[in-house]
Structure 1
Amino acid sequence: MSTTRAAADPLAPLVDLPGVAEAVESVRTTVDRVYGHRVMRRRSNEISSEAALRGARGSAALSGADWALEEVRRRTDFGSEPEAQTMGAALRLCAEAGQLLSIWKQSPLRVLARLHMVAEATEAPEVGRPRLAGEVADEPLVDLPLPDADETAARLEGLAGLITAGSSAPALVTAAVVHGELLALRPFGSRNGLVARAAERIVLIGSGLDPKAICPAEVGHAELGAEAYTRALAGYASGTAEGMAAWIGHCARAVALGARESTAVCEALQRGAA
């Protein structure tokens, strides 16, 4: 692996890790298959809307609000109890992600701040800014050591630099790194999982891999389960080649499962069953 290549484009060498290139190609094929479905030519807006709903449900499930899809459809009050607030936050983030695509590559930290504000839907002073010294992050699913405020700020700046500089790495790899880094850092006092998965969504849409947002990775992450999710995240946090490859592979499977979900929606629409 060329050290010059790694220095110029730190994400590019990740494609050389075992199994990553194959995962990238498999995801591309799977996503293209959904886009080629005949229903997509006529009803893509419906598929996108349904994918957003299911993606929000999946993300909320990983943050402790594991509701049936029909319950999400039925509810109108998302502010009365903790689980409802989590679901409401996930729904708002899925709706907001598509509005931030033009800003992401120029100012990713601004987008992350906006995502946290949307998730919390309050004007508290700590909302939308990274943790300060002595502050903790409330993310029960993730029990990795929490980086201190200085390390978090430095790594956020580094991540922002990677995004603004651009990379030749495939969208899947970039999305996995953004997702994994934000979850490892947990830069905000709350809602970090929801924000990390929303950022992954933005990368997948904005990169052109999933421009219509019809392959919700959040669905796949939830289907693979919290235990597999946290185990793969620990691999990312380890920084080892094996751990990074395992995390990227996990994210690839999540996107593929999201694509499968939307394929099922397409088939249902074609049959007139949905």
Structure 2
Amino acid sequence: MLAPLAALTTIADLPEVVAANDRAREACTRLRWHQALRRRIPEGAAESRIRGAWASAELDGARSDLDVVRDLMRGARDRSTAPDPAEQVIHGAMAATAATESLGAQLRQAPRQAIARLHLAAAAELVPEEELGRPRPSGRDCTEFAILGPAAPSAAAAARLDALDPILAEPDLPALVVAGIAHAEIAHARPFTRGNGIVARAVERTVIKTAGLDPTGVAVPEVGHHRRGAAAYHGALAAYGQGTRAGIVVWLEHCADALVAAADEGHAIADAVLAGRLR
């Protein structure tokens, strides 16, 4: 269950969490000063969303080719009129990741509305229309993240989503902590019937950008998690689910390491922008 705000403040002040936050911030600061991002941030940020959508879908088990995802998001390739289950997940990851571009202020001011918008995008092809943007109906289960154990009952899952509001609106918590806690809570609570992982990673991306950790939006947090492997990703989430301070620290350190890798991927994007390879 989500720790109270005061407890999260204490956790944020732990030496290992401070060190994790510092290395993530240093990596993003180095990215921010890349020569290509002086005037061409939008180009780099667009490519980041493409790579982020690809990696987010892969983390949900939907294997794909990055070049195909790029063509789909740029409109250079038509979508299948009868997408298979993997394609449906990929389409949802593309839509939700694209939606993060305009959700920054809303996620802080009206978190539930912003999360609902992300779910509308993520699950448009995955759930019935009446379930889009709404928590799981009473009695409905969720089979996503099964490796973390059974999903919470629908009422408890909705309550955990509600409890995120003050965390997402808290200006004094480090962005790494806010982003990591929001990601883990959505993954564990599984408030929606489908699309929880895509939404969780899209929320993390939005917080990292709008809270100033990576204001360029060129880092690729989804690739950071993907690079470390599904086993490390799910293992760190499982540690968080133990509900202990040590488990939360394990997850936040994982998020910091993923963000360092995300900034490295951002550097690769910026290098490609500078060389003209993304045109």
Paired position in structure 2 for 1:256 = 260
Aligned to 1:19, the other structure's residue is in SS state helix
Deviation of residue 167 (structure 1)?
4.3
Instruction: Choose which of 98, 103, 106 in structure 2 pairs with 1:95.
Output: 98
Matched residue, 2:136: 131
Q: Does structure 2 conserve the Cα–Cα contact (< 8 Å) formed by 1:138 and 1:191?
A: no
1:189 maps to 2:165: no
Structure 2: stretches of 5+ with no match in the other structure? 72-76
Letter in 2 for 1:30: A
Partner-residue secondary structure (3-state), 1:105 = helix
The 1:46/1:181 distance shift into structure 2, 3 A limit, reads same
List per-residue Cα deviations over 1:217-265 (Å, max 9, x = no partner).
1011111111111100011111112211110011111111111011112
Correspondence for 2:74: none
| Residue type at the aligned position of 1:93 | A
TM-score, length-scaled by structure 1: 0.91
CA distance in 1, matches of 2:188, 2:161: 11
Once residues 204 and 135 of structure 1 are traced to their aligned partners in structure 2, the CA distance between those partners, rounded to angstroms, is 32
The reply on whether 1:85 has 2:82 as its aligned counterpart is: no
Residue 43 (structure 1) shift:
1.7
Find the counterpart in structure 1 of residue 177 from structure 2. Answer: 173
- 1:198 is paired with a residue whose SS is helix
How far off its partner does 1:16 sit?
A: 3.1
- Alpha-carbon distance in structure 1 between the residues aligned to 2:112 and 2:118: 10
The alignment partner of 1:125 has SS state of helix
Correspondence 1:65 to 2:62: yes
**Identity of matched residues, %:** 38
Extract unaligned runs of 5+ from structure 1: 1-5
1:28 aligns with 2:28: no
Cα distance in 2 between the residues matched to 1:215 and 1:61:
18
**Residue type at the aligned position of 1:84:** E
CA contact (8 A) 1:11 1:167 kept: no
The one-letter amino acid of 1:76's match is D
The corresponding residue for 1:143 is 148
1:61-90 CA distance string (max 9 Å, x none) = 001112221122244315611111111111
Q: How many Å apart are 1:143 and its aligned residue?
A: 3.4
Take 1:121 and 1:8, find their aligned partners in 2: how far apart are those partners?
33
Report if aligned partners of 1:180, 1:236 keep a CA contact under 8 Å in 2.
yes
Deviation at 1:141, TM superposition (A): 5.7
Q: Following superposition of structure 1 onto structure 2, how do residues 105-124 of structure 1 map, counting pairs within 5 Å?
A: 105-121=108-124, 124=129
- Aligned residues of 2:43 and 2:273 also touching (Cα < 8 A): no
Q: How far did residue 145 of structure 1 move? A: 2.5
- Contact kept, 8 Å, 2:52 with 2:97, in 1: the verdict is yes
Give, in whole Å, the separation in 2 of the partners of 1:98 and 1:32.
20
Q: CA separation in 2, counterparts of 1:17 and 1:227? A: 26
Residue aligning to 2:236? 232
Query: In the alignment, is residue 223 of structure 1 matched against residue 227 of structure 2?
Result: yes
- Conservation of the 8 A alpha-carbon contact between 2:115 and 2:203: yes
For the 8 Å contact 1:179–1:199, the answer to whether it is kept is yes
Give the 4+ runs in structure 1 shifted more than 4 A: none
Instruction: Output the amino acid matched with 1:170.
Output: P
Q: What per-residue deviation string (whole Å, max 9, x for no partner) do you get for residues 89-111 of structure 1?
A: 11111111121212111211111
**CA-CA distance at 1:19 after TM superposition:** 1.7
Contact persistence 2:32–2:216 (CA under 8 A): no
Tell me: CA distance 1:140–1:183, structure 2 relative to 1, closer, same or farther (3 Å): closer
Mapped partners of 1:142, 1:194: distance in 2: 16
Alignment of 1:45 with 2:54, yes or no, is: no
Aligned pair count reads 268
Structure 2 CA distance for partners of 1:88 and 1:7, relative to 1, 3 Å: closer
Local SS of the residue matching 1:98: helix
Q: What corresponds to 1:3 in structure 2?
A: none
Q: How many Å apart are 1:42 and its aligned residue? A: 2.5
CA distance in 2, matches of 1:7, 1:246: 18
